[in-house]
Amino acid sequence: MRRSPGQVALAAAIALFLLLFLFVPVATVVYVAFTDRAGGLTLVNFLDFARTELFVRSFWNSVYVSAMTVLWSSAFALPLAYLTTRFEFRGAMLVQTLGFLPLIMPPFVGAVAMQLLFGRNGTVNLLLDEHLGFKIGLMEGLNGVIFLQAIHYFPFILVNLSAALRNIDRSMEEAAQNLGSHGLRLFRRIALPLAMPGYVAGASLVFVKVFDDIASPLLLNVKEMLAPQAYLRITSIGIDDPMGYVISVVLIGVAVLTMWASAQVLKGKDYATTQRGGGGLARRKLRPREAVLAYAIVILILMLVLAPHLGLLLLSLATVWSFSPLPDAYTLAHYARVLGDSSLYIKNTLLYSGLAALIDVAIGGAIAYLVLRTKLPGRQALDWAASAALAVPGVVLGIGYLRAFYGVKLPDGTPLAALWIVIVLAIAVRRLPYALRACYAALQQISVSLEEAAENLGATKARTVRRIVIPLMTGGLLAGFITSFATAAVELSAVLMLVQNNSDAPLAYGLYVLMQTPAGRGAGAALGVIAVIIVALCMALSQLAADRSQRARGLEM
Amino acid sequence: MFRRSLVTLAALLASTAAFAQSGKVTVVTSFSKDVTDPLKKAFEKAVPGAVLEVQNRNTNAGVKFLEETRSNNQVDLFWASAPDAFEVLKAKKLLAAYKPKATGIAEKVGSYPVNDKDGFYVGFAASGYGIMWNERYVKANKLPTPKEWQDLAQAPYFDHVSISAPSRSGTTHLTIETVLQGEGWAKGWRTTKEISGNLRQVTDRSFGVPEAVNSGQVGYGIVIDFFAFSSQGAGFPVKFVYPSVTTLVPANIGIVANAPNEAGAEAFVEYLLSPAGQEALLEPTIRRLPVRPETYAKAPADYPNPFKDKNLQGLLTFNAETSEGRTAVVDTLFDQLITFQLEPLKAATKTLHEVDAALAKKPNAQASALAKEARDLIAAMPVTDAQAASPELRAAFTGGKEKGARQAELEQQWAAFAKDNYAKAKAKADEALKLAR
């Protein structure tokens, strides 16, 4: 395909965006990693990293935890995705929405709720101890981190895999069935391989996210992993040392490497199909016994992954909950307390995450298009650059924004970094990789011949994109929007550095403030429940809208 | 001269129109909403026209924020517990001097001067450090009630104690520093490590400790008093005690250099020190110790009174300068010797508890000697008191240009030292256990 000036301009605009809002701010912080005490350039800090037993141990711990999490997340996600897309499954949409909820776990309260349920003296262990005389260390050490992370991040795989399964050309499956294949073999040989782009997109996200996650390990007091090490060093006072930034550079390196590796896995295979619209796998009816089994599996998985939210709900209604399987008594006082504040927080959260997710889908979709459909030199770099954002710790980005933009004054003297739009940009940059992966997977499954046909009929490139590519990508774009939106709604680390004004604060910040006090625990949980409900509602609505439009188009065909 | 005329000018401003039209006063604070909300409301009522804009950041992040934004500062006040953080801000010239006009404020609380001697920050409430515990947890596990720091090192407490890392929490740093100053460097570290051998967890947030105690995930926590008092205020089944080696340290407020609304900032400081502001500290969700002695007359029964209570008299004098001079070294030592070597330290400690139990039944001189050797190995420190305060070591942590080891190199050495010693201590303890049984 030719290089059009429009494509070049698009690529340049995206590059400029990434440069301004990702690379410059991060560089102002991370360059320290490459300097010695006299200020000269050096690599000695990386040597120190390799020689420090703690860091090496942390590195391998992180690799182990990330890999195991991918495994467990797949175990949770595969049955849910397969059963809801492949069969006539009542409540499929409910399962899809509920299965997404774990991703929206509000910071801090989620942690407390998990401890109260699964911790050393949580509900499960207190009951076990009382009746059976033993406890299980679900939340202990690295295994605890894997347990938490798998519950928290499996929706990445669920969403992307489900989108991919829905996009598979039915004729492929029918061809296989005509040749005598069915059941598990059909799934293993046809559906799963064809859905690979979605699975790989989800799995690579889970791997990188877990590798770079700070919150979950720290809530379990596991500090001997790489990302927590970076966070602890960067945010500790009086320690102006480069190691925190060295670790950040390593994290970014691992993220880029993972994305590269996942591209290699899919390379040389063609996943595109031409049949679109109301496509997807044929939905089979479940036989009664199969149905019982299927519902049992789905309900079991949902119960496990939604337990934290149940804990959160209990916590928000509890008076005192301490060293007992259930709260002492229940009250609605916490909701009354947060109701006044929360409308402002909610408005800000919806505004920020909505805008951020729109930016993400626009840029993510554009990058996916440039990489997969054009021959622009350096297009791959855009992909990797955007993915690198995944690995930049939120506080590094936050400090970087302050450094880069606080000196820039508006005409009336207020610093640029004090405007709420800066918070939106920071969130958008941090969530861009989610949308990008989803868009990328969606476009990978669309046959280029459809676009060629349009162009042969005289459509311009822009018109082809607007009338063919974007409508066909709706599912992927939506998956990207939802993932970015929902996770942006509970983003904290960068926000915490950038919020300058209570009236500009999003929910996560309000929650953080509440969760610093004993009396604020219930109120924080109440705010958390409100956040989850609102985000879930928004998701369900957008899902509904997308389903409806897809069905409408399906009928036309 | 210049400063004096500034002070007079400020006093003049404060006493006239500025007081009435304070406008927006921006404060960066580590205090929670429970503390700031009532005070904000009362202040805005007392000073018509004033709006208190509260930015909640933890102490370290707050300091970093002021540092990063100093080129275009928008903050009027910094308001937090740890005097250390104020020392750091003062050293970086991020605070402006101000002498409050309020009268009737105590000069000293415990034996700690309430205000900075150079006038860059003022104390408005006092806090002490101690041990809090969850009564249900303690009852269910049939555990004892602690009185002194040393109690936490005893066998029954093994795996039941929680602390936040001093590198992460200004208040814990002060607790450790208090022990070090009260018992001396070597003995203080011995106590610290003996307690640490019983730790369940080292959290990375100060509030992580009361949170874990409140929800019953751990039994005991080493905390600043108001965490315990406000937990009690919220109804949690927890108790608190001040050990005899503790110190009362004022929580402070300071005006930021180049504050956009200096008059408003001063008005808030004056309000905090006024009788009304001091009384607000007694609220169940706040529970700080006022620095105005007369306020205690209005306090509920059982409220600690540092100006009357015997156990809070004649406490250790905390030296903030000593503390500030070795902050980074103490924090890093704790991290490298305890936080990141917790498993080997606990393993050795557990065996030593078993040795003690065996020896109590059947004394054995050789085993006792081995156990003592093991304890000495655990207590050994890679650096002395004098070294910790030396310019060479400080330079490694402040990025100074002096020649010396890099921070990463020091950390490797210290970690290796601890790992090696704990392994040796464990071997000796194992040997002692064989003999004692």
SS (H, E, C) chain B: CHHHHHHHHHHHHHHCHHHHCCEEEEEEECCCHHHHHHHHHHHHHHCCCEEEEEEECCHHHHHHHHHHCHHHCCCCEEEECCHHHHHHHHHCCCEECCCCCCCCCCCEECCEECCCCCCCCEEEEEEEEEEEEEHHHHHHCCCCCCCCHHHHHCHHHCCCEEEECCCCCHHHHHHHHHHHHHHCHHHHHHHHHHHHCCEEEEECCCCHHHHHHHCCCCCEEEEEHHHHHHHHHCCCCEEEECCCCCCEEEEEEEEECCCCCHHHHHHHHHHHHCHHHHHHCCCCCCCCEECCHHHHHHCCCCCCCCCCCHHHCCCCCCCHHHHHHCHHHHHHHHHHHCHHHHHHHHHHHHHHHHHHHHHHHCCCHHHHHHHHHHHHHHHCCCCCHHHHCCHHHHHHHHCCCCCCCCHHHHHHHHHHHHHHHHHHHHHHHHHHHHHHC
B122 DSSP β-pair partners: B253
Whether residue B58 is predicted with pLDDT greater than 80 in this model: the reply is no
Cβ within 8 Å, pair B407-A241: yes
Percent of chain A with pLDDT over 70: 94
Check CB contact under 8 Å for A115 and B236.
Answer: no
Looking at residue A299, its pLDDT comes to 92
Instruction: Compute CA A295 distance to the chain's CA centroid, rounded to the nearest angstrom.
Output: 27
The residue that leads in pLDDT, A70 or A468, is A70
* Overall average pLDDT of the A236-249 stretch: 72
Residue B3 has pLDDT above 80, yes or no: no
pLDDT tens-digit series, residues B108-140: 887 778 888 899 999 999 888 899 999 999 999
| Mean of pLDDT values over A213-223 | 81
Top-confidence residue, B130 or A547: B130
Task: Indicate the burial class of B314 (C-beta count within 10 angstroms; 0-12, 13-18, 19 or more).
Answer: exposed
Question: Distance between CA A378 and CA A370 in Å, rounded?
Answer: 10
CB contact under 8 A, B235 and A53: no
Both tokens of residue B194? Answer: 């003996």
Q: Verify that B177 and B218 share a domain, yes or no.
A: yes
Global ipTM: 0.79
Tell me what the mean pLDDT of segment B242-247 comes to.
81
The residue among B312, B345, B360 that closes a domain is B312
Query: Following DSSP, what letter does each residue of A322-345 receive, concatenated?
Result: -SSSS-S-B-SHHHHHHHHHHHHH
Instruction: Say what percent of chain B tops pLDDT 70.
Output: 92
**Residue ranges of domains in chain A, CATH in brackets:** 5-556 (1.10.3720.10)
Quick one: how far is CA A520 from the chain centroid?
Answer: 28
Please tell me whether residue A199 adopts helix, strand or coil conformation: helix
End-to-end, the C-alpha distance of chain A in Å comes to: 28
β-strand partners of B134 = B238
Averaged confidence pLDDT in chain B: 87
In degrees rounded to 5, what are phi and psi of residue A411?
-50, -35
Give SS3 for A87: strand
**Which two three-digit tokens encode residue A398?**
């936050």
What's the DSSP call for residue A315?
A: H
Q: DSSP state, A316?
A: H
Residue that is last in its domain, among B281, B312, B343: B312
Does B209 share its domain with B270?
Answer: no
Q: How far apart are CA A10 and CA A12, in angstroms?
A: 5
Q: Looking at per-residue confidence, does A365 or B22 come out higher?
A: A365
Cβ–Cβ below 8 Å for A241 and B399: yes
Residues B106 and B217 in one domain: no
Helical packing angle, A123-132 and A109-118, nearest 10°? 10
What's the confidence (pLDDT) of residue A519? Answer: 79
Task: Specify whether B74 is located in the same domain as B213.
Answer: no
Alpha-carbon distance B365 to nearest alpha carbon in chain A (angstroms): 38
CA distance A98 to chain B (A): 28
Q: What is the pLDDT of residue A342?
A: 78
Query: Is there a single domain that holds both residue B207 and residue B287?
Result: no
Residues 6+ apart with CB under 8 A from A13: none
If one compares A271 and A368, the residue with the highest pLDDT of the two is A368
Facing residue for B235 by CB, picked from A116, A237, A319: A319
**Both B216 and B234 in a single domain?**
yes
Cβ-defined contact of A52 to B411 (cutoff 8 Å): yes
Q: Is B156 in the same domain as B224?
A: yes
Asked if residues A420 and A504 have their Cβ atoms less than 8 Å apart, the reply is yes
What domain range is B122 assigned to? Answer: 2-127+250-312
| Whether A237 and B406 lie within 8 Å, measured CB to CB | no
A512–chain B nearest CA distance, Å: 9
Identify whether the C-beta of residue B246 lies closer than 8 Å to the C-beta of residue B129.
yes
Predicted local distance difference test score (pLDDT) of residue A217: 85
CB B238 within 8 A of CB B134: yes
Share of chain B above pLDDT 90, in %: 54
Confidence band (pLDDT; 50, 70, 90) for A551? low
CA distance, residue B1 to nearest chain A CA (Å): 32
Longest Cα pair distance anywhere in chain B, in angstroms?
81
Amino acid occupying residue A394: G
pLDDT score recorded for residue A3: 62
Residue of A nearest to B206 (CA): A516
pLDDT in tens, A62-118: 999 999 999 999 999 999 988 888 788 888 878 888 888 888 877 677 778 888 898
pLDDT band at A501 (very low <50, low <70, confident <90, very high): confident
Q: Kindly indicate the confidence band of residue B15, based on its pLDDT and cuts at 50, 70 and 90.
A: very low
Task: Give A414 or A292, the one with higher predicted confidence.
Answer: A292
Residue A388 tokens read as 């690198």
Interchain contact, A236 vs B407, CB within 8 Å? no
**Looking at chain A, which residue has its C-alpha nearest residue B169?**
A236
User: B227–A321: do the CB atoms touch at under 8 Å?
Assistant: no
CA-CA distance, B260 to B262, in Å (whole number)? 6
Give Rg (Cα) of chain A: 24
Angle in degrees, CA A290, A295, A297, rounded to 5: 95
Residues of B in contact with A232 (CB under 8 A): 165, 167-168, 204
Number of domains in chain B: 2
Please state, in angstroms and rounded to a whole number, the distance separating the CA atoms of residues B211 and A115.
10
Return the pLDDT at A553.
57
Q: Contact, B131 vs B240, CB < 8 A?
A: yes
Considering the domain architecture, whether residues B383 and B397 belong to the same structural domain is answered as yes
The pLDDT, as a whole number, for residue A402 is 82
Q: Does A360 score more than 60 pLDDT? A: yes
- Cβ–Cβ < 8 Å for A149, A70: no
Measure the CA–CA gap between A83 and A91, rounded to whole angstroms.
11
Q: Which run of H or E residues covers position A474? A: helix A470-488
CA distance A225 to chain B (A): 11
Task: Judge if B119 and B96 occupy the same domain.
Answer: yes
| Cα–Cα dist B170/A114, whole Å | 27
> Is residue A223 classed as helix, strand or coil in its secondary structure?
coil
Shared-domain flag, residues B91 and B104: yes
Q: Are B416 and A518 inside 8 Å of each other by CB?
A: no
Nearest in space to A59 (alpha carbons), one of A276, A193, A197, A257:
A257
Q: Do residue B297 and residue B326 come from a single domain?
A: no
Burial A408-422 (b: 16+ CB within 10 A, else e): eeeeeeebbbbbbeb
Contact B60 A239 (CB under 8 A): no
* Residue B389, CB-side half-sphere exposure with 13 Å CA sphere: 8
What are the pLDDT digits (tens) for B390-417? 888 888 877 655 566 788 889 999 999 9
Last residue of a domain, one of B312, B336, B366: B312
Length in residues, chain A: 557
Residue A550 has pLDDT above 70, yes or no: no
Query: In a 3-state reduction of DSSP, which class is residue A40?
Result: coil
Please give the Cα distance from A393 to A400 (Å, whole number).
Answer: 11
Shared domain check, B298 and B228: no
Q: What's the pLDDT tens digit per position in B129-180?
A: 899 999 999 999 999 999 999 999 999 999 999 999 998 887 788 889 888 9
Rounded Cα distance, B156 and B144, in Å: 8
Residue A159 predicted with pLDDT over 70? yes
* Per-residue confidence (pLDDT) for residue A2, from 0 to 100: 53
Residue B73 to chain A, least CA–CA distance (Å): 9
Give contacts of A 504-543 with B, CB under 8 A: 509, 512-521
Q: Which residues of B284-307 are buried (b: 16+ CB within 10 A; e: fewer)?
A: ebbbbbbbbbebbeebeeeebebb
pLDDT digits (tens, 9 = 90+) for A375-394: 888 888 888 888 888 878 78
CATH code, domain carrying B111: 3.40.190.10
DSSP A19: I
Q: Which residues pair with B112 in a beta bridge?
A: B109
